[in-house]
Amino acid sequence: QKEVEQDPGPLSVPEGAIVSLNCTYSNSAFQYFMWYRQYSRKGPELLMYTYSSGNKEDGRFTAQVDKSSKYISLFIRDSQPSDSATYLCAMTLGGSYIPTFGRGTSLIVHP
Amino acid sequence: DGGITQSPKYLFRKEGQNVTLSCEQNLNHDAMYWYRQDPGQGLRLIYYSQIVNDFQKGDIAEGYSVSREKKESFPLTVTSAQKNPTAFYLCASSIEGLGGSGYTFGSGTRLTVV
């Protein structure tokens, strides 16, 4: 079992839909949780960063962490074709700066 | 603008050749990293460096070498010992000690063996 599990998709949704992207993990010691967005043939860019459980909102994006279930989510409201990309979750142990990445979920938002 | 520059964007290697991928950052970050990305496998850590003149092996260091002579530069050499080098290579940097939140990635180099 991999430490971080992420469904590779692809996930295809119509423009305007609410998108839910998820990761599960097995190591309860993870404390920092991140979401990266990667466009085709580009490097990932950091979207959201959260510490421990709870929600964090930034515009159309909401990151949610449920440590009791070892489950994190990224919600995208009013999805746009420009949101079409691969979304990678990542998490680190406290005191470490080397994240463990999920495999990424490919999202396609069609007009 | 601050950022990470990787070059070249595309690189072709013949069997038995060593090639070097360039990574330069002007973010004044202490730590730099090299990742390999293959379809369906996510990001795998090759090498990382927390400080000049020091670096550590990641999960898949065999067949690769690095140097860190300057804070701004962290070149990766793919040697002939790397049996399956065709992949997308990503360089990243971070402010040490921020739990991975400060990762900035370059745009990547796509290496193909011909």
B95's CB contacts (< 8 A; 6+ apart) are B29, B30, B31, B102
Test A88 with B96 for CB contact under 8 angstroms.
Answer: no
Q: pLDDT digits over A45-57, tens only?
A: 999 988 878 899 9
> Looking at the complex, does the CB of residue A103 fall below 8 Å from at least one CB of chain B?
yes
- pLDDT value at B12 more than 70: yes
Rounded to an integer, what distance in angstroms lies between the CA atom of residue B106 and that of residue B29?
Answer: 13
Q: CB distance from A49 to chain B under 8 Å? A: yes
Non-local (6+) Cβ contacts of B1 within 8 A are none
Of the residues B101, B111, B112, the best mutation for testing chain A's interface (the one with the most A CB atoms within 10 Å of its CB) is: B101
Q: Does A45 sit within 8 Å of B101, measured CB to CB? A: no
Partner A contacted by B112 (CB < 8 A): no
Between chains, do A42 and B108 touch, taking CB under 8 Å as contact? yes
Taking residues B82-93, report their average pLDDT: 93
Closest C-alpha to A3, from A100, A103, A104, A69:
A100
Residues of chain A with pLDDT under 70: 1
> Looking at beta carbons, which residues of chain A come within 8 Å of B102?
97
Give A59's contacts (C-beta < 8 A, 6+ positions apart).
none
B98 has a pLDDT exceeding 60 = no
